Structure 1
Amino acid sequence: MPVQNIRGVQIHYEVTGEAGPWVALVTGGRRGFAEFRSLARRIADRGFRVLLHDRRNTGASDVLIEGEEGEEEIWADDLVLLLEKLDALPAFVGGTSSGARLSMLTYLRHPEAVRGLLLMRVTGGAFAAGRLPNMYYGQFIEAAQQGGMAAVCATEQYQERIAANPANRERLMAMDPRKYIAVMQHWLEIFNRGPRAPVLGMAEEAMRSIRVPTIVVPGNDNTHSSANGLAAAKLIPGAELFRLPIEDQDVPLLPFSDWAPQEEALADALARFMRRVLAGHTAASKETT
């Protein structure tokens, strides 16, 4: 797997496709990029080059728990630097869940780097706001408080990162638990600052300021209810709305793999959108199915 050193962190990445415009896709949560390989192949088959990467502190990339800015802001800056190293700017940037939020943040911080936004399974609402802070930060702060870095390393998520990159255990065990707790509390405070609805962590005025072609594909679980995607499409000027033939389900979270039967239709919709953008034609506020 190729690796690039981005600000002192080894970032693992993968490029699918030999030629064509660049697309960066980012998974949700802190999951590695493997779940997007099938979708990346389908998009690449339609004439694009697709970049997948493990953000720092995810997948097989290095863990580095430090930074004055929020973790998602750090991820956004890392992504642009990785795209720059690959001579892939400007690029279409998209993802699901936190990857959709990261895509918007990447545009807001680096508008010149983004050719268009592909926003899938947008997160928002009280249910998501009630579970994600603990999922991303709270549980690990508690582990460090109770058992130090050994307890952090023993959590399921960090076990996955250590298995993917064994050097991460040494890096984590070398940390002072007090510093780890302080950074994670800082990131949690930043994560909790933003609005809860309609899009978690993204102010409405920020979304209205987006001036790049955007397509929104709503999700269908309680963390990514279709209402969040519909609201995002209305807030972003000129955004296109594409709805898959799926119904909302009253479950906390559906894995992206549940969308496997929809991947062909999803890849088609995203590719058609990107071709229109490249041709200079967008369908403002048009819903497609």
Structure 2
Amino acid sequence: MPSVVVNGGSVVYEILGDSGELIVLTPGGRFGMDIPGLRPLAEALVAGGYRVLLWDRPNCGASDVQFYGQSESHMRAETLHGLLTALDTGPVVLAGGSGGARDSMLTTILYPELVSKLVLWNIVGGIYGTFNLGAHYVLPSLQVARGLGVEGLPRMREWRELIAANPKNEQRLLALDRDEFVKLSLRWLNAYVSKPGQTVPGVDDELFDRITVPTLIIRGGTNDLDHPKRTSLEVSCLIAGSTLIDPPWPEDAWERAVEDRAHQRVDRYNLFDTWVLAAPPILSFLDG
């Protein structure tokens, strides 16, 4: 896979398709571009006449681990800016779900000159959703670093997987300064604490005035605690002129996928397997 060095870290990417406007497609969590369900959506968008850039964000897939910025999403937005600048892409379509939606929104807010259109789905919000993010992505490493120092980080399953994908990551973790890592982790954790005036964790509502490009929002499922329906409705109010549509997948798709994942039902669908169903409305929006 080709890569670009941004802020001292290697960022792995892949571009699908030979012609057409470029769509940057970003998944959620700390999942890399090989997460099941992402590539079928990318291929459907390519079939619709677009090119698609898939990328492993810092701390995802085969890219280098990195730790800087106001929040992890701020770091990802800065990284995407560096990647697209290095590739000299010009304005692109940003499309992302879950954490990828937050990364795409923040990139558009901070670097509006990079973005021509914006597509969002599975937007995280609410007490459960934001607390869950902090508890899952920040607290475990913070607690290990406080107790064992950075030497304990490579022993954790999450970082072991990234070391397996990119052996350089072990030394990058061991080279961290413990006190600085703890300080950064507390700052990243604070971004996930629900606050008045922050519909999206770590992003002040007033900043959404900076999003002026055409925006499509696929609303959250009715009972989805991770990506509440209310949050997507509120974001649609914050982004002037945005288009809000019902999800093209079942209302309970996320809940059923979470259950399948918990029960390790590998013969059934993964978290992002239904995302390919978003291809027709996304293409209709982009072509309109």
Query: Which of the five TM-score ranges fits, normalised by the shorter chain?
Result: 0.7 to 0.9
The Cα shift of 1:259 comes to 4.8
Distance 1:267 1:252, change over 3 A: closer
Residue in structure 2 matched with residue 242 of structure 1 by the alignment? 245
Residue in structure 2 matched with residue 284 of structure 1 by the alignment? none
Query: What secondary structure, in the 3-state scheme, does the structure 1 residue paired with 2:138 have?
Result: helix
Residue in structure 1 matched with residue 149 of structure 2 by the alignment? 148
Query: What secondary structure, in the 3-state scheme, does the structure 2 residue paired with 1:31 have?
Result: coil
Letter in 1 for 2:65: V
Query: How does 1:2-151 map onto structure 2 within 5 Å?
Result: 2-35=2-35, 36-65=38-67, 67-151=68-152
Query: How does 1:161-176 map onto structure 2 within 5 Å?
Result: 161-176=162-177
The Cα shift of 1:189 comes to 2.9
Query: What secondary structure, in the 3-state scheme, does the structure 2 residue paired with 1:241 have?
Result: strand
Larger deviation, residues 222-231 vs 242-251? 242-251
The separation in 2 between residues aligned to 1:195 and 1:114, in whole angstroms, is: 28
The Cα shift of 1:176 comes to 3.1
Distance 1:248 1:204, change over 3 A: farther
Query: What secondary structure, in the 3-state scheme, does the structure 2 residue paired with 1:57 have?
Result: coil
The Cα shift of 1:190 comes to 4.1
Residue in structure 2 matched with residue 270 of structure 1 by the alignment? 282
Letter in 2 for 1:228: T
Distance 1:20 1:249, change over 3 A: closer
Distance 1:134 1:82, change over 3 A: same
The Cα shift of 1:272 comes to 1.4
The Cα shift of 1:203 comes to 2.9
The Cα shift of 1:225 comes to 2.2
Larger deviation, residues 155-164 vs 182-191? 182-191
The separation in 2 between residues aligned to 1:144 and 1:64, in whole angstroms, is: 15
The separation in 2 between residues aligned to 1:30 and 1:125, in whole angstroms, is: 20
Residue in structure 1 matched with residue 219 of structure 2 by the alignment? 218
Letter in 2 for 1:5: V
TM-score, length-normalised on structure 1? 0.86
The Cα shift of 1:201 comes to 3.0
The separation in 2 between residues aligned to 1:191 and 1:24, in whole angstroms, is: 25
TM-score, length-normalised on structure 2? 0.86
Larger deviation, residues 201-210 vs 137-146? 201-210
Query: What secondary structure, in the 3-state scheme, does the structure 2 residue paired with 1:33 have?
Result: coil
The Cα shift of 1:199 comes to 3.1
Distance 1:234 1:246, change over 3 A: farther
The Cα shift of 1:210 comes to 2.0
The Cα shift of 1:132 comes to 1.2
Q: Contact 2:131/2:192 (CA < 8 Å) preserved in 1?
A: no
The separation in 2 between residues aligned to 1:39 and 1:209, in whole angstroms, is: 28
The separation in 2 between residues aligned to 1:169 and 1:258, in whole angstroms, is: 28
Query: What secondary structure, in the 3-state scheme, does the structure 2 residue paired with 1:56 have?
Result: coil
The separation in 2 between residues aligned to 1:70 and 1:26, in whole angstroms, is: 17
Residue in structure 2 matched with residue 287 of structure 1 by the alignment? none
Residue in structure 2 matched with residue 232 of structure 1 by the alignment? 235
Query: How does 1:179-218 map onto structure 2 within 5 Å?
Result: 179-192=180-193, 195=196, 198-218=199-219
Letter in 2 for 1:275: D
Q: Contact 1:32/1:60 (CA < 8 Å) preserved in 2?
A: yes
RMSD between aligned residues: 2.3
Equivalenced residue count is 274
Q: Contact 2:257/2:271 (CA < 8 Å) preserved in 1?
A: no
The separation in 1 between residues aligned to 2:106 and 2:196, in whole angstroms, is: 14
Q: Contact 1:125/1:197 (CA < 8 Å) preserved in 2?
A: no
Q: Contact 1:195/1:202 (CA < 8 Å) preserved in 2?
A: no
Distance 1:141 1:152, change over 3 A: same
